[in-house]
Structure 1
Amino acid sequence: MKLTTSVLLPLLPALSSSAAVRRQNGDGPQGSGDATQGDLGARPPPRFPFPVIEFPVAKETIVFNETRYIQPGEVFDGGMKRYERQEGSCNEQAEGTDADTVFNLLPGSTIRNVIIGKHQAEGIHALGDAWVENVWWEDVCEDALTSKGLNTQLRVIGGGARNATDKIFQDNSLGGKVNITGFYAETFGTFYQSCGNCLNQAKRNVTIENVIAINGTRMGIINPNYGDEYRIKDSQIVDVTRYVDKEIGNNVQTVPYTVGTGPDEKYALYNLTRDHITEFKGEVLNQYTPADPYPWLGEFWKGNSTAKL
């Protein structure tokens, strides 16, 4: 079935008077939030809409000779240009390293308004706490975004990714937290995966909120034997086979084995009804509209989207 929908772009500030980005407060039991975005209120409000179900069209491509490192405290604003590595090549069977990425985010950095081009071995690695805002992956190879480091808090707001044969978000952090808000995913294997066989393992925590996901195998893979917590809420999902698989992870780099799927009361902390997880039917139900949008937004989105359901 094909649905053609009009995508709301944030050119009507009057509509945004009641719009707000939810804050997560404290680790909690089933249905409650985590602290991954507890400092969101200290940052300026986003100037882009999310989620948006249309990919931006880049007008310019920037090619790096080597990985671009975003320094601590730096805000890298890509101006909705497409970024690629000169010798970027996709090998879906290989696990990419920090040397294979387009961007590496050092602790305390921000990347925003970026399009990652096709055929890149790795998109972005976060090597510590980082913000990823309005970043789009045109065609994911092995992973789009990987979290690394000790107790890394990775915050993703807006953006989207498509054609991820393997994973979109890979969490290799040691005791980290990932919060994904307002993201659009189209055709993927796994939306979020907690590493099942890293050499160093610890509890990881993910909250997926207000996302739209179309045509995927699963929304998450977690390791209950390390205490992982997985939450999803206020999201629209269609043609995704499973919400979460639970595996017994290890630190000896062997293939983990699956021990269950679906919600529970300790690790997979969600309920379809209570947490407002509904079927996507072509209309974005909970779109954030900024009061002060970027003036150039209309240059990169056509304003209409065709979603294949």
Structure 2
Amino acid sequence: MWSSPTASHRTRSVLAALITTPLAAAALVLSPAAGVAEPSATALDEPVSETIVLTEDFDGGGTRYYGEGDLGDGGQGEGGDPLFELEDGVTLSNVVLGSPAADGVHCEGSCTLRNVVWEDVGEDAATFRADSASAQFRVEGGSAAAAEDKVFQHNGPGTLTVTGFTVEDFGALYRSCGNCSSMYERHVVLDDITVNTPGDRLVGINENYGDTATLSNITIIGDDDRDITICQRYEGNDDGDEPDETGEGPDGTHCLYEESDITYQ
């Protein structure tokens, strides 16, 4: 189940502890107040000092993982290491990422994150990378809170689909990288999303690279003044410069939704 490419970068003792964890000892429950998945009182805690590399599907049974050592500063610097790294085709299910969460989860190819809860997002909740435009990333259920910057960072090509997800207190729910050294056409689909304020923007995409964002069944709670930007368009670059904003809102080409797809409560 576990892959440890180099002993200097992976801790055998941590992996051994995870392998022996009784997966049925904890479960995710749904908070009736906000619809945010939370760990039950019996959830197990597992410290992670070295990135866990998954080569096969893994169900954490509600266990909470949090960073320590080099993964324990919880900073916002770019390029940090994740708690979990998923190889192409892997599904990660039923885990809670506590605080500090380091750089969350990295998908090195197509992946599925099912019922993953980020209690306090570190640098990013999840980063999606791939080498192929056919890559498919999925986030099914789960929630994220306290994301000072981004929740989902899309660096490689491919399509990210997020369904049944809840977010609150965030900078951006999704950002197609605006200034990576290698830039691609990227696509995101958001459906059945519950948004709790405060928040800055749901989606940021680069129209000059052909990005698209398709949104439906979005519910925003507490944004009486409509302060949250739904879909922000940028002119991305591969020079590392801060990208320029080019517009926002549905345009029929890049930001694909109708006003009726957004409900305010």
For 1:243 and 1:50, the matched residues in 2 are separated by 26
Alignment of 1:168 onto 2:151:
yes
* TM-align CA RMSD: 1.9
Considering fraction of residues, name the structure with more strand: 2
Residue 119 (structure 1) shift: 1.9
Moved runs in structure 1, 4+ residues, more than 4 A?
Answer: 48-52
In the alignment of these two chains, the number of paired residues is: 226
For 1:266 and 1:129, the matched residues in 2 are separated by 25
Q: Is the 8 A contact 1:106 1:128 kept in 2?
A: yes
Residue 63 (structure 1) shift: 1.4
For 1:181 and 1:210, the matched residues in 2 are separated by 6
**C-alpha distance after superposition, 1:82-104 (max 9, x if no partner):** 01222221112x1033xx11000
| Aligned sequence identity (%) | 37
Aligned amino acid, residue 62 of structure 1: E
Match of 2:184, SS state, is coil
- What is the correspondence of 1:215-234 to structure 2 with a 5 Å cutoff? 215=197, 216-234=199-217
What is the match of residue 185 of structure 2?
Answer: 203
What is the match of residue 156 of structure 1?
Answer: 139
Residue segments in structure 2 that go unaligned for 5+ positions in a row = 1-27
What is the match of residue 240 of structure 2?
Answer: 253
Residue 49 (structure 1) shift: 9.0
For 2:176 and 2:161, the matched residues in 1 are separated by 13
Q: Is the 8 A contact 1:212 1:236 kept in 2?
A: yes
What is the match of residue 180 of structure 1?
Answer: 162
Q: Is the 8 A contact 1:96 1:121 kept in 2?
A: no
TM-score w.r.t. the length of structure 1 is: 0.70
Residue 246 (structure 1) shift: 0.7
Match of 1:225, SS state, is helix
Match of 1:244, SS state, is strand
Alignment of 1:68 onto 2:91:
no
Alignment of 1:91 onto 2:78:
no
With a CA cutoff of 8 Å and minimum separation of 6, indicate the structure with the bigger relative contact order.
1
For 1:155 and 1:120, the matched residues in 2 are separated by 20
Q: Is the 8 A contact 1:146 1:170 kept in 2?
A: yes
Residue 234 (structure 1) shift: 1.2
For 1:109 and 1:237, the matched residues in 2 are separated by 31
For 1:226 and 1:83, the matched residues in 2 are separated by 36
Residue segments in structure 1 that go unaligned for 5+ positions in a row = 1-47, 281-309
TM-score w.r.t. the length of structure 2 is: 0.81
For 1:210 and 1:82, the matched residues in 2 are separated by 25
The one of 84, 91, 110 equivalent to 1:110 is 91
**C-alpha distance after superposition, 1:159-197 (max 9, x if no partner):** 000010101000001x21000000000110101000000
Match of 2:258, SS state, is coil
Shifted more, 232-241 versus 253-262: the winner is: 232-241
What is the match of residue 249 of structure 2?
Answer: 262
Q: Is the 8 A contact 1:50 1:159 kept in 2?
A: no
Aligned amino acid, residue 163 of structure 1: A
